Structure 1
């Protein structure tokens, strides 16, 4: 009688003393895509919602058409804040000169002009509390938080207040978003959640 071999138990990465580091994030084997490093701990992404995917695509496309020529828009790309923090904002706007090659896997936080986070159920506390504090300490001048309120996109806009080193709210936008910094932006937010219509028959 043959005996089925026992399935191997899952092997979890054991953090080193002091936690994982930003430099080690690229070398960890079998790491899930879009894993972030927050306070020396690995944060894994849950399955994306339709809203999350649409919002990232919307801001990536629209901002790319609006940014000055010396800036570049990146989606889901990690940034180095310090040794123990390497988060991955959903969308960033960075100085184009910081991009040195097509194999680059991270960017310094000081190059970021704008960080955008699209909130999901599992990221709510990080996007509302943890990440804004870290982005402000890294002196990222602008932070936008995008939330789904009953099927409508709402954008909360923050600007770094130099005297306090913390973010100050500069607006909450429903349906239409119009700001002048970090560059002029006028967006129809209803396009994020609008039902896609089938193409007309030929």
Structure 2
């Protein structure tokens, strides 16, 4: 489960303090200078992350960087630090340290202990930071789903949902389509994750 420090430390922690955290597979983030620690992801979470990254990389124009688990400083003082499961940037990689600008897209893959954080806490944080598009993926083995939010007037508005074998389509950060089912299902996911081709659709008609 997620571990939050309930007592306010004598001083607020910054990303410099994260250099002293153990390399134990857990994820160490900062919220207002306090540690927010999550356990190592389960295999289904890792599968979704790997498959979606693979697919987005194959579809992304050259000017975009598709990254798994990039560190992002949401505040200049380094006291608010998040690590989205996946993010897409349209800027140069920082010369040192972490990203300090909003990604075009942030993706979070829900786990049992992250439901509130992904749907409420991070949703508010990413909106305030200026992340233009936010995807929340629920990796249910029987019916995986995705919800897409777009930033409008400083708030996220839900624009798309797709579940199971429905085809999810988005045009931000770049045109992409995929089938949530193939983020989690066994079988030839590389062949099927993008959904039916235009030729298949034409044949079906």
Q: Compute the TM-score of the two structures, normalised by the length of structure 1.
A: 0.79
Query: How far has the Cα of 1:90 moved from its partner?
Result: 0.2
Unaligned runs of 5+ in 1: 1-11, 198-202
Cα separation, 1, equivalents of 2:97 and 2:144: 30
Cα RMSD (Å) of the superposition? 2.2
Residue 144 of structure 2 aligns to a residue whose secondary structure is: strand
Which protein is richer in helix relative to its size?
2
Q: Which has the larger radius of gyration?
A: 1
| Partner of residue 87, structure 1 | 82
Cα separation, 1, equivalents of 2:81 and 2:114: 16
Does the 8 Å CA contact 1:70/1:97 hold for their aligned counterparts? no
The alignment covers a number of residue pairs equal to 178
| Partner of residue 167, structure 1 | 156
Query: How far has the Cα of 1:114 moved from its partner?
Result: 0.3
Structure 1 residue ranges, 4+ long, deviating more than 6 angstroms after superposition:
none
Does the 8 Å CA contact 2:52/2:183 hold for their aligned counterparts? no
| Partner of residue 68, structure 2 | 75
Write out per-residue CA displacement over residues 71-129 of structure 1, whole angstroms, 9 at most, x where no aligned residue.
Answer: 101101210101321010000001242343xxx4521133x110000000111111010
| Partner of residue 36, structure 1 | 29
Does the 8 Å CA contact 1:32/1:44 hold for their aligned counterparts? no
- Alignment counterpart, residue 46 of structure 1, candidates 25, 39, 46: 39
Write out per-residue CA displacement over residues 141-179 of structure 1, whole angstroms, 9 at most, x where no aligned residue.
Answer: 010000034532100100000x2x011000111132111
Unaligned runs of 5+ in 2: 189-205
